[in-house]
Amino acid sequence: MGIGIAAAVVGTIALLIGLLLGIAGKFLAVPVDETEVAVRECLPGNNCGGCGFPGCDGLAKAIASGTAPANQCPVASAEAKAKIAGIVGASVTEEKKMVAFVHCFGTCDKTENKYHYYGLHDCRKLALIPGHGEKLCEYGCMGYGSCVKACQFDAIHVVNGVAVVDKEKCTACGQCTKVCPNHLIELVPYEAEYLVGCSSKEKGKKVKDACSAGCGGCTLCSRVCTQGAIEIIDNLPHIDQEKCNHCGICAEKCAQKSIVKH
């Protein structure tokens, strides 16, 4: 008899709790934005931050609310971006594929060290040391892999003392560009054929003494370019990829081979 009463009491209490939870769930439920959910399903889920938002959830919310364009994610495929555009009713615009490029060819065989560093393997830490790194060239790649750690896609590695990007793996998320203390990494068009592999702002003998691959600032490349695509800024050639016709004469005439085919 006592067991039956106890079971009935427990069952009644459980029923009441269930009813209260059901009522509370109905009144306290957070409204779900179906558009946001649909957009989130199209995003890759890397949470790399390349979009400028706090992860894929933050970007999905921004796209659904109209505060970010449908193609804001640099990692998403063209198909995914088209699907997102369809979800939010936006037009699909064709984009140029971009990849990261390191403007430095100062490998271990082309430059020397002024001292040996034994600290943390982080270029940002090394940049704080007097002399701005151990290499003679203070503008070049330090080779301690801050960019490698920042890349979630295994697209960049230090080879012979210099960071090198695998353009086939690169998603142009831009994280590597943010951590390089020398600002050597730039997002360039995937189809760009000729790029400058030097970032030294010095000129002539001072550059050559620091790195045999350094640009001496002779301006010959800009003078032989028939398209007017090369401008010299701070003793360095800057190639306008919109004007470049990929003839390659600049790379052919460059004595230092600071301009190479990508």
Q: What is the pLDDT of residues 23-66, one digit of tens each?
A: 665 665 556 678 888 888 888 888 888 888 888 988 888 888 88
| Fold match between domain 34-88 and domain 96-191 | no
Per-domain residue ranges of the chain: 34-88, 96-191, 193-262
CATH number, domain 96-191: 3.30.70.20
How do residues 147-199 score in pLDDT, each as one tens digit?
Answer: 999 999 999 999 999 999 999 999 999 999 999 999 999 999 999 999 999 99
In tens, the pLDDT along 59-96 reads 888 888 888 888 888 888 888 888 888 888 887 777 78
Is residue 1 pLDDT above 80, yes or no? no
- 246 contacts 194 by C-beta, under 8 angstroms: yes
**0.85 surpassed by pTM:** no
Quote the CA–CA distance of 33 and 88 in Å, as a whole number. Answer: 12
Q: 215 CB contacts (<8 Å, ≥6 apart)?
A: 196, 198, 200, 207, 235, 236, 237, 254, 256, 258
Q: How far apart are CA 184 and CA 207, in angstroms?
A: 16
Query: What fold characterizes domain 193-262?
Result: Alpha-Beta Plaits (3.30.70)
**48-52, 103-107, 133-137, range with the lowest pLDDT:** 48-52
Q: How far apart are the first and last CA of the chain?
A: 87
Tell me which CATH code domain 34-88 carries. 1.10.15.40
